Amino acid sequence: MFVDIIKPIHSLVQNYNMRRLFISIYFITGILFCSYSQTASTSRTLSGKVVDVYGQPIEGVEIKAKGSSVAVYSNESGAFELAGNSSSVLTFSRKGYDVVKVKGGNKKSLTIQLVENYIKNPEKADVLYDVKSKEKILGSVSTVYTSQLVTSPAPLYAYALAGRMPGLYTQQTSGWTNTGLNPITYTDAIFGQFPTASLIGSKGPSDNSEILMKLRGQTPVTMVDGIEREIYTLSPENIESVSVLKDALSTILLGMNGSRGVVLVTTKKPIKGSPHVSFTTQTGVQTPLGLQDPLSASNYAYLYNEALANDQKKAAYTYDDFNAYQTGSDPYGHPDVNWYKTALKDNALMKRYDLNVSGGGNAARYSVGLGYFQQDGLLKSDATDYNSSAQLKRYTINTNIDVNVTPQFTTQLQLYGRIQDGNQPGATLSSIMGSIYNTPNNAYPVLNPNGSLGGGQNYQNNIYGMINRSGYITDYTRDISANVILKYKFDKLIKGLYAKVQTNLSSYTAYAADRSKTSSVFKMTTTPDGDIAYNQYGANTDIKNSFLLSSSAQYWYLQGT
């Protein structure tokens, strides 16, 4: 009997394949459903606000989700809305700020903070008496901005320019400001005040006695907000930019002075919006550099004898002298004093504090900057009845007020004030450093056994005495400057036509209180009887009590365009 088993087998296979097909469909459908459910549960509108480091809203920030070509922009309040989900990666970008990427997450609202680029590249740049688009500037101009200036907690912003401005040569010639004892004017019996040689080529007194600046081999003209002023003590926090104008095309408006090039300083202008408040504190450490490693007393004596031998002269130091120097058995008769370590600290602090407030609306805007700077000296001073330590303190204020009187008429008022007080030993820093450089280790002891100052006929100024027993000198500097700008636009007649008047009144005064004195030195000797005797050199003088008006200047500036 024939039985057809092919059909049942075929039917079984067909049913088995159908079951596999249905299971696959159910499985795929389940996955799609779960994916859809998950997407539906996390898909939402991402919203938030974009602010700067001061918490102020930033308008025009582009926001994109990764993998999407759709972009939205923040409004005047910094707010934005964008479709996405918790896993979306959002990119926030705006010219002048660092790009920020964040995940959408599960927060109801995002707050994104953008930080300005360290090295700015704005579309416009400051030129003489104007601001122009970079694409329209044909001259040679180099610029640095606030972020690059605040990195150096130095007494002058000129320190931060080294190596950053192509064509500008800088050299530090001193680590301390002048005392104000060197007058910049002298008095004629008939004609009154005349400038000294130090003012030749400048537009007034300078507060820079530390940094030598050259542009194409000449001292550049320094301009602050369009006014020729030698002001270098502006706080970097109050400076928007420093530009160097190097060629004739950039400086042609200065006439003959333009051949020297220009250092153009632009201070910060008020920022519209709710008050921006910032407080900055900086601390720096200064260290003496380039100091020689002095010869020990024995090495100095050996080389001194060698120099005498070369001139066929008798040696000045004997074997017993060398032995005393090397063993230290006679510290008063054969001293070995390292004056670099005895007189100078390894380091000293500099401190800077800045408080800045800015804000306003469409009608009026303001900015106020208060600064305090303190620089301690590197001299080791002991406690005495008076303060002979080297120290500098400076207080500054810089204000700007912009007012829109009408849509066409605007006014600007800028005020700058400086109070600076300095203190140093009566012997002056330059004399002390000169003695340190020129005094060998075996010249004299710091103090004799009886407490008197060591010295001799060839060394009548004891370095320790110059620091601690020479009195003190305190110098005072007062500086104020007022700048007024009036501008009227005639756009109704000719687009871009305007009239501008700028005037500046400045006053500068520097004087010093001289409380210096001198102290005699003594050389200890031993008599034939074995007694100790002291030979005096120099004289003791009473402390002075005099005031010196070293400089006084007032000047007025007027410009119309």
Segment 139-158 shows an average pLDDT of: 84
Q: Are 424 and 179 in contact (CB under 8 A)?
A: yes
Least confident of 185-189, 243-247, 385-389: 185-189
Strands (E), 192-309: 192-195, 211-215, 221-224, 227-228, 239-245, 262-267, 273-286
Which CATH number applies to 124-175+210-267?
Answer: 2.170.130.10
Confidence of residue 42 (pLDDT cuts 50, 70, 90): low
Question: How far is it, in rounded angstroms, from Cα 341 to Cα 379?
Answer: 10
pLDDT of residue 53: 84
Domain with CATH 2.170.130.10 in the chain: 124-175+210-267
pLDDT of 228 reads 86
Instruction: Report whether 50 contacts 58 (CB < 8 A).
Output: yes
Residues above pLDDT 90, as percent of the chain: 42
Query: For residue range 477-492, what is the model confidence (pLDDT) as tens digits?
Result: 999 999 999 999 998 8
For residue 95, the model assigns a pLDDT of 85
Predicted local distance difference test score (pLDDT) of residue 443 = 95
Confidence of residue 46 (pLDDT cuts 50, 70, 90): confident
pLDDT tens-digit series, residues 258-315: 888 899 999 988 988 888 899 999 999 988 887 888 999 999 999 999 999 999 999 9
Comma-separated ranges of CATH 2.60.40.1120 domains in the chain: 44-113
Higher-confidence residue of 213 and 372: namely 372
Asked whether residue 21 carries a pLDDT value surpassing 60, the answer given is no
Work out the mean pLDDT of the chain and round it to a whole number.
84
Alpha-carbon span 106 to 108, nearest angstrom: 6
Question: How many C-beta neighbours within 10 Å does residue 238 have?
Answer: 25
pLDDT band at 184 (very low <50, low <70, confident <90, very high): low
pLDDT for position 5:
46
Q: Which residue has the higher pLDDT, 487 or 69?
A: 487
User: How far is it, in rounded angstroms, from Cα 364 to Cα 366?
Assistant: 7
pLDDT in tens, 244-263: 888 888 888 888 888 888 99
Does residue 18 or residue 543 have the better pLDDT? 543
Please tell me the predicted confidence (pLDDT) of residue 472.
93
Tokens describing residue 191: 């004609």
Residue 7 has pLDDT above 70, yes or no: no
Percent of the chain with pLDDT over 70: 87
pLDDT tens by residue, 432-462: 999 999 999 999 999 999 999 999 999 999 9
Instruction: Return d(Cα 43, Cα 87) in angstroms, integer.
Output: 9
Neighbouring C-alpha atoms within 13 Å toward the C-beta of 347 = 7
- With a CB cutoff of 8 Å and minimum separation 6, the contacts of 59 are 73, 74, 75, 76, 78
Give the pLDDT confidence score for residue 13 in this predicted structure.
Answer: 42
pLDDT greater at residue 214 or residue 185: 214
Could you say which architecture CATH assigns to the domain 44-113?
Answer: Sandwich (2.60)
* Dist. CA 165–CA 142, nearest whole Å: 6
Find where tokens 């075996």 sit.
Answer: 442
pLDDT in tens, 427-436: 988 899 999 9
Q: Give the Å distances, CA to CA, from 187 to 13, 199, 256.
A: 122, 15, 29
Give mean pLDDT, residues 145-172.
Answer: 85
- Determine the straight-line distance between the first and last CA of the chain, rounded to whole angstroms: 123
Residues forming a β-bridge with 265: 224, 242
What pLDDT shows up at residue 36? 42
User: So what's the pLDDT on residue 177?
Assistant: 74
Whether the per-residue pLDDT at 502 is higher than 80: the answer is: yes
Please name the residue that has the structure tokens 């101009």: 141
Question: Which pLDDT belongs to residue 559?
Answer: 86
Query: What is the distance between the alpha carbons of residues 235 and 352, in angstroms, rounded to a whole number?
Result: 9
- Per-residue pLDDT of 108-117, as tens digits, reads 788 989 988 7
